[in-house]
Amino acid sequence: MQMLIFYTRHKQKLLLILILVVSGIMNNIFAQESNTINCLECHDDLKSGRVVHAVVEDDCSNCHQSTGISHPDGDGKGFELNENMPSLCFMCHTGIEKQNIHMPFQEGQCTDCHMPHSSDNEHLLSEPTTSKVCYQCHEITLPEGSAMHAPVEMGECTSCHDAHQSDYSYFLKTQKPDLCTECHDGIIEQIEARYPHAPAVEDCSNCHNSHGGKTGFLNEEASVLCLNCHEMTGKSNEHQPVKDGECITCHSPHGSDNEKMLTTETTGELCMMCHDVAAEEGEFIHAVVKMGECLQCHDAHQSDNSALLKHNNPRYCTGCHFELLMADRMSVQHPPYQEDCAICHAAHKSTQPKLLVDEANNICFMCHDNVQEQMKHQPIVHRVLYEKSSCVKCHSPHASKELALLKKPEKEMCMDCHSKEIETDYGIIKNMDEYISSKENIHAPVEEGCLSCHGPHAEDVPYILNSLFPHINYVPSNTRNFELCFNCHNDELMTAKYGKEATNFVNEDLNLHYVHLEGEKARNCYFCHDVHASDNEHLIVDFTWFGLWRMPLEFESNKKGGTCFTGCHEKRSYGIKSND
């Protein structure tokens, strides 16, 4: 109500004031427009550019003021800037606020880059592109054959750099790698992965030239670049990707969810990209291969050993196959075991159990071809040799305490099989283990072992005897026919008719062995003796087979001699001649 009374009383005064205010504003606008128009009558080129500085459109006096010198009749210096640079520009534009200041901006040299009145270029630039403005001071030199980073090639320096000021080095718009990932957003997932590459997280320019370069804009060749941080010790054998500097074949350069920044989840997957072990023949797979643990045996980068093995065979194999550590302590070691496990075993896959490179016997015959020749050319072959993997039934392939790498002492080894009856082409071989252990007297060579008389592999004499011995009842009297026995016994048993130097089986001075072994029908030793064991003295048998006749010997001995009553002759006695 009071305001209405005030307006009614002073209405004419208020109207007069309003007219005066409006009149003053309009006069000022007209004056400014007049001033600008007056300047452009001579300086019309200042507004000729496609982009005109706003203050030029407004009023020249925003930036310029008269010096009092007549213009244009004077010396041409009738106007000066209202403020020194860069204060003049900062009247409208943001001033210095950040840590790093571009030198032209700091020193007020705005017109080094910008036209003050108008320009055909965006932001009133003095050159058509940002890069041309920048290149007036900043020269970019790249190695021959290099490619430019896309923003550089397009002349968009301000895509990455702030032209005036920044809180980051090199006037970057933001810190690395955030700046780079604005375009290269595929890298974000990698540097935020479980195993990020430290240089990538810290600063992309640790590895990359921001302006351009050869492959990947790397600062150096990949092989050199990686070695700046990752030292190689210069071993004799290098993995080909390492040699060629192709580190990113296996490793992600920025980061990975896989240990060691591998490009695949497991080492095995990575190795199989080049080394197609799956294509190798065989159903039997080395456990470390099946688990993809290639680095258990191989070094991924370099090694002084063949096949990039971490250690020389066979010592490294014992790291897993620790049962072989006992073999190292044994007195007899198989040379291939000492030299290299790969002579007999495949490292990855095989068609044979135990990862053997071939059937067990074939591997043995690679070195022991003499045994193979015996099997081919000798008529009597130890039957066990025809069995699969027969060699390792008796011999240890690695080491043993026994000669010839036998798994057990010789006699025990033989009795593993000869603990039962065995049928052969020459008859049934009795259960020797049971038979010998049941007898009171054992032939001395049998006590020591079977190989005194038998060959272990193949011979040309029945029962695999290693020397001649008759396998029929009668043969001509010739020491050669009884070579097996005379390997130990004195051959005068056969050749000396008289004397007791070779035997106590004499009657007076007559050598009764001679009597039984003379002529064309020398009797086989087993007529009277058991060649393995007997309950009787001198290994005399209780009976002997003569055809189908189980003929008793009825031999008796005493201190002076003895008696014998067989189907060959009537009861006869013999006695040793006294020296009296």
Long-range contacts of 207-211, Cβ-Cβ distance < 8 Å, separation of 24 or more? 207/253, 209/142, 209/149, 210/149, 210/160, 211/140, 211/142, 211/148, 211/149, 211/152
Q: How far apart are CA 205 and CA 168, in angstroms?
A: 14
Nearest to 561 by CA among 517, 505, 516: 505
pLDDT for 36 equals 59
Identify the helix (H) or strand (E) that includes residue 4: helix 2-9
CA distance to 32, 131, 138, 233, 447, per residue, from 156 (Å) = 38, 6, 14, 44, 99
pLDDT for 545 equals 86
Q: What is the dihedral of CA 309, 313, 317, 318, to 10 degrees?
A: -140
Instruction: Please answer whether residues 166 and 94 qualify as being in contact, where contact means their C-beta atoms are separated by less than 8 angstroms.
Output: no
Average pLDDT over residues 437-443: 96
Average pLDDT over residues 478-487: 95
Instruction: Please answer whether residues 555 and 564 qualify as being in contact, where contact means their C-beta atoms are separated by less than 8 angstroms.
Output: yes
Mean pLDDT lowest among 109-123, 173-187, 263-277, 309-323: 309-323
Identify the helix (H) or strand (E) that includes residue 51: strand 51-52
Task: Answer yes or no: is pLDDT of 10 > 50.
Answer: no
Mean pLDDT of the chain: 87
CA distance to 23, 284, 538, per residue, from 19 (Å) = 6, 107, 160
CA distance to 257, 383, 433, per residue, from 519 (Å) = 94, 36, 37
Q: What is the dihedral of CA 111, 115, 121, 124, to 10 degrees?
A: 80
Q: How far apart are CA 92 and CA 19, in angstroms?
A: 32
Average pLDDT over residues 397-407: 95
Residues 6+ apart with CB under 8 A from 176: 202, 203, 204, 205
Task: Answer yes or no: is pLDDT of 13 > 60.
Answer: no
Mean pLDDT lowest among 308-312, 363-367, 376-380: 308-312
The label of the residue with tokens 């001509």 reads 476
The label of the residue with tokens 């970019």 reads 140
Task: Answer yes or no: is pLDDT of 25 > 80.
Answer: no
Reported as a single tens digit per residue, the pLDDT across 189-217 is: 999 999 999 998 989 999 999 999 888 89
The label of the residue with tokens 């896989």 reads 258
pLDDT for 215 equals 85
Q: What is the 3-state secondary structure (H, E, C) of 197-249?
A: CHHHHHCHHHCECCCEECHHHECCCHHHHHHCCCCCCCCCEECHHHHCCCHHH
Q: How far apart are CA 321 and CA 327, in angstroms?
A: 11
143: exposed, middle or buried (C-beta count within 10 Å: 0-12, 13-18, 19+)? exposed
Mean pLDDT lowest among 26-35, 137-146, 420-429: 26-35
Q: How far apart are CA 85 and CA 111, in angstroms?
A: 10
Which of the four pLDDT bands, split at 50, 70 and 90, describes residue 480? very high
Residues 6+ apart with CB under 8 A from 296: 288, 320
Residues 6+ apart with CB under 8 A from 112: 104, 126, 136
Which of the four pLDDT bands, split at 50, 70 and 90, describes residue 371? very high
Runs of H (alpha helix) within 74-210: 87-90, 103-106, 130-134, 150-153, 178-181, 186-191, 198-202
CA distance to 157, 205, 268, 440, 443, per residue, from 447 (Å) = 98, 84, 56, 12, 7
pLDDT for 4 equals 42
Percentage of the residues of the chain whose pLDDT score is greater than 70: 92
Tokens of 125: 């630039």
Beta strand segments in 249-384, E = 255-256, 284-285, 302-303, 332-333, 349-350, 380-381
Task: Answer yes or no: is pLDDT of 1 > 60.
Answer: no
DSSP, residue by residue, 366-429: HH-HHHHHHHHH-SEE-GGGGSTT-HHHHB-SSEESSGGGBSS-HHHHHHTTSSS-EEETTEEE
- In single-letter form, the type of residue at position 108 comes to G
Task: Answer yes or no: is pLDDT of 8 > 50.
Answer: no
- In single-letter form, the type of residue at position 375 comes to M
34: exposed, middle or buried (C-beta count within 10 Å: 0-12, 13-18, 19+)? exposed
pLDDT for 19 equals 43
